[in-house]
Structure 1
Amino acid sequence: MLKPLSLALLAVIASIPVHADAQTAPPAKDAAQALQCGNVFDARSGKLTGPQTLLVRNGKIEQVIGGAGADVAGATRVDLSGHTCMPGWTDLHVHLGSQSSPQSYSEGFRLDDVDYAFRSVDYAKKTLMAGFTSVRDLGGEVSPHLRDAINQGLVSGPRIWAAGKSIATTGGHADPTNGYNDALSHLIGPPGPTEGVINSIDDARQAVRQRYKEGSDVIKITATGGVLSYAKSGDAPQFTVEEVKAIVDTAKDYGYRVAAHAHGEEGMKRAVLGGVTSIEHGTYMSDDVMKLMKQHGTWYVPTIYAGRFVADKAKIDGYFPDVVRPKAQRIGALIQQTAANAYKNGVKIAFGTDMGVGPHGDNAREFIYMVEAGIPAPVAFQAATIRAAEVLGVDDQGVIEVGKRADIVAVPGNPLEDIQQVMKVDFVMKDGAVYRAPEA
């Protein structure tokens, strides 16, 4: 018997034609395309390498030829001579099943899985069209199913690494019953490892194994309180080091990496000592935490966009519940400065937005905020390409090189000199299929 969520996704899939847009039809298996780029960003060096022609066939980069006007016999030419071509961007922190609004908290009681499924298809397409060919979805039961639909070519969207349900502690940031009244809480009962809520080392192991059973690709924990959860604390630690270690060790059994949502200092320390791959948000990251992260090789995914978005919306009466609003005002405004400090202190930074907090498709604005924080544009682009691939543990994407995936995005002009160009994506290719192209 199919789960309700699976039925919901099937309903969505059945209503959408395969590659509904004229530009999204994949090329024939042996068709060749010659992308004539005015400039190419080398993600390894962080430099532009000048005009080049990229020959793409069978979803891979087959040749990189000097000069934007190289004549490749039999290949379909794509004129990007006024553009900079870059490896497809990766957003390491999204939530494709939702999007923040003043109605978000009540919708959980009014909407069905099918409603979120329909929305996720639109959000995925917007993300891809914005230049993000890969994402890591860090929390949401829709995402593993959406990932499968995209992989099967049933809907358009980025390549997804899906966490499924985030793992929390009782009352923690990802406890699904936060804010429920007593009658509803007693009716449902306390959530446990199956629902992603743990309170012991044994629970921790079971929760990871449940995510494996459900088809997750990565594990996400909420190591501290959060901004948007219906709970008072946004930064208190919510796991012991031993619990984090149990999650990380069990995750390794299945080839999973662990991302840790964390705002508070103590929770970050415990997460790093427990062996997580990345710290997400990191608002109150101290010098001691930065030193610890450098010692352990822990990545930092700042999500500046989300911080700025919630701080801005907290100024609007009624946008957030009263218990959330003070956290949004206090925590959100700090993340951009934390990112600046982390970069200056040599912490490894990768790209992520926490999109779903803000509107999907606006992901590239994070580049602008990173540059505003003092992170050089080449470093910001590396964070969304080669560094993101390192966080994911893959080596077939994130660079424009022979044999790598043909994930390519192009923007007009020189984005290293004018970072605003990231909001003008004209060309998107994923696995050799063109989803967006300049108008003729």
Structure 2
Amino acid sequence: MAVALRCARLVDVEAGAVLPDRTVVIEGDRIAAVRPGGEPLPEGMRLIDLGEASLAPGLIDLHTHLVGPAACGDFLQELKLSGAQLALDGVAHARDTLHAGFTTVRDVGTFHAFVDVALRDAIDRGIVPGPRMAVAGAFVGVSTGGGMIVGLTPGIELPRHYRLGSVRDVPDVRERVRELLTGGADVIKLIATGAVLTSGTVPGAPELREEQIRAAVEEAQWYGAYVAAHAHGAEGIKWAIRAGVRSIEHGTELDDESIELMLEHGTYLSADIWWSDWLNKHPEQFDDEQRAKNDAATERQRQSFAKAVRAGVRVGFGTDAGCFPHGLQTRQLATMCEWGMTPLQALRAATLTSAECMGWEDRVGSIAPGKYADLVAVTGDPQDPASFNDVRFVMKGGEVVRDDLPAAVPSVSGERTV
């Protein structure tokens, strides 16, 4: 049976407008039509009246880590957990992410290879609740680099599933990419430079050469996939863009040449510009080196973000959820507005632009006929980013997965059924 959702306001991210009094007709798991709220519905159609709430597309996070201990700077804690424990913790992280309004995520790397694939498949089969996931399978980078577990006593050898993405040269890169994609990964995540949280690495220092990145891009293309590149430093960013990656993750040290290259190649930026605020409020979770590198990167990254926005770079929404507790990602919307975006631009980044980055714009990212009925509702002004910190209603694929709208909310039709 078809279902109709009636709302007082609807966020049209394609037009960049908030439309009053709309009804969204849903058939199965897809949107069938969007109509003015006053139009009569066919007899017998089930109505879900959201009253004075505002409806928006399901949100998208391009940079999550649903597998692994959350809000923990000590990566060695990962070794205390079995693959089963990591997967079950991931179930909780996926639920929290979905309930926060994120109906789609790109999960860009795990230390324990392929646990993210299992989590994605369990969600797709309806075994556990969670967002739609595109997964990376494992990080690909150098053995002592930003995507590896470091800090062990020399001579200790980790099991292969913890070092599957470790590479030394171009043939290694090609082999790892093929292994990840045939093992179920959707996207390849390269660690092109050092990292803020990985001990001993220098965020601005390149770790993969341009020819290695290009090899990964070439191999991924044969499988209909693409590459996302973790890159903080300007030189590593430029190597990655020239090599053909789809997105730059973090983008801390964007210079003018980097910006020009991103515009020329159509490269997306996924910059986690909020989460350092969480780190600063919870410094006990991180060591001195991590805090110092974060302090050095925060302002520079935000300035780079603002520069990219002004230049017209394709900016998506990526938060690095997992470095902080899952479900808090919407806090970044306000930070994006502080650094150059309008509220509707930030919402577009967190919906349609991120869908385009993933290559999923035909199925998610806006409220339009033919797309999945992935929808969220808030009771506040949808042009106030803080409203999305209190998502009250979540629908994924036509199924209501969260409904905390107050019963006393005035109703457009006089009744509300769920």
Could you tell me the TM-score, scaled by structure 1's length? 0.87
State the shift of 1:109 in Å: 3.0
**Structure 2 vs 1, CA of residues 107 and 171 (structure 1 numbering), >3 Å: closer, same or farther?**
same
How many angstroms does 1:100 deviate by?
3.9
Matched, 1:79 2:52: no
Change (3 A) 1:281 1:307: farther
Change (3 A) 1:42 1:102: closer
The corresponding residue for 2:379 is: 412
User: 1:254 and 1:193 mapped to 2: Cα distance?
Assistant: 24
Whether the 8 Å contact between 2:31 and 2:369 is mirrored in structure 1 is: yes
Query: CA offset at residue 284 of structure 1?
Result: 0.9
Alpha-carbon offset, residue 58 of structure 1: 0.8
Please state if 1:344 is matched with 2:316: no
Counterpart among 182, 186, 209 of residue 154 in structure 2:
182
Pairwise mapping of residues 344-423 of structure 1 onto structure 2 (< 5 A)?
Answer: 344-394=310-360, 395-416=362-383, 418-423=384-389
Work out the CA distance in 2 between the residues paired with 1:364 and 1:413. Answer: 14
Check conservation: 1:168, 1:222, Cα contact below 8 A. Answer: yes
Please tell me whether residue 431 in structure 1 is matched to residue 404 in structure 2: no
8 Å Cα contact 1:311-1:328 kept in structure 2: no
| 1:1-36 Cα shifts (integer Å, max 9, x gaps) | xxxxxxxxxxxxxxxxxxxxxxxxxxxxxx221100
Contact persistence 2:273–2:332 (CA under 8 A): yes
Cross-structure match for 1:111 = 81
Q: SS of the residue aligned with 1:324?
A: helix
Contact 2:199 2:289 in 1 (8 A): yes
1:274 aligns with 2:274: no
Give 1:155's aligned amino acid: V
| Counterpart selection for 2:106 from 124, 136, 141 | 136
| Aligned residue pair count | 402
Give the secondary structure class of the aligned counterpart of 1:169. coil
Instruction: Determine if contact 2:247/2:270 at 8 Å carries over to the other structure.
Output: yes
Distance 2:144 2:57 in 1: 40
Matches within 5 A, 1:187-226: 187-188=157-158, 195-226=164-195
Task: Measure the CA separation in 1 of the matches of 2:226 and 2:95.
Answer: 26
Pick closer, same or farther for the CA change 1:106–1:250 going to 2, 3 Å: closer
2:252 aligns to what? 283
Decide whether aligned partners of structure 1 residues 216 and 68 sit closer, same or farther in structure 2, where only a CA change above 3 A counts.
farther
The 3 A distance-change label for structure 1 pair 232 and 220 is closer
Match of 2:5 among 35, 41, 46: 35
| TM-fit CA distance, 1:414 | 2.2
1:95–1:137: 8 Å Cα contact kept in structure 2? yes
1:91 aligns with 2:64: no
Counterpart contact for 2:233–2:251, Cα < 8 Å:
yes
2:297 is aligned with 1:328: no
* Partner of residue 121, structure 1: 91
Distance in 2, Cα, partners of 1:230 & 1:133: 33
| Residue-by-residue CA offset, 1:354-375 (whole Å, 9 max, x unaligned) | 1001110111111111111121
Distance in structure 2 (CA, Å) of the matches to 1:69 and 1:361: 36
SS at match of 1:50: strand
**Which of 40, 44, 65 is residue 35 of structure 2 equivalent to?**
65
Asked whether the 8 Å contact 1:170–1:198 carries over to 2, the reply is yes
Q: CA deviation at 1:102?
A: 4.9
CA shift, 1:72, in A, is 3.8
For residues 102 and 296 of structure 1, what CA distance do their matches in structure 2 show?
35
Separation of aligned partners in 2, 1:325 and 1:419: 28
TM-score by length of 2: 0.92
Which of 122, 144, 158 aligns to 1:149? It is: 122
Partner in structure 2 of residue 159 of structure 1:
132
| Cα offsets for 1:210-245 (capped at 9, x unmatched) | 101220011100110011112231220011111111
Unaligned 5+ segments in structure 2 are 408-418
Offset at 1:69?
7.0
Amino acid at match of 2:367: I
Separation (CA, whole Å) in 2 of partners of 1:68 and 1:412 = 21
Distance 2:63 2:158 in 1: 30
Distance 1:298 1:357 in 2: 24
- 1:334-368 Cα offsets, whole Å, 9 max, x none, are 32232122111221100111100111011111111
Give the superposition deviation at 1:305.
2.1
SS in 2 for 1:303: coil
Tell me the SS of whatever aligns to 2:289: coil
Residues 423, 188 of structure 1: CA spacing in aligned structure 2 closer, same or farther, 3 A cutoff?
closer
Gaps of 5+ in 1: 1-30
Mapped to 1, the partners of 2:73 and 2:313 lie a distance apart of: 37
Q: Is the 8 A contact 2:352 2:366 kept in 1?
A: yes
Q: Deviations over 1:28-58 (max 9, x none)?
A: xxx2211001111112111112211111111
Are the equivalent residues in 2 in contact too, given 1:264–1:285 (CA < 8 A)? yes
Q: Which residue of 1 aligns with 2:196?
A: 227
Deviations 1:370-428 (A, max 9, x none): 11112111111111111111101121211111121111111113221x22111111111
Q: Match for 1:277: what amino acid?
A: R
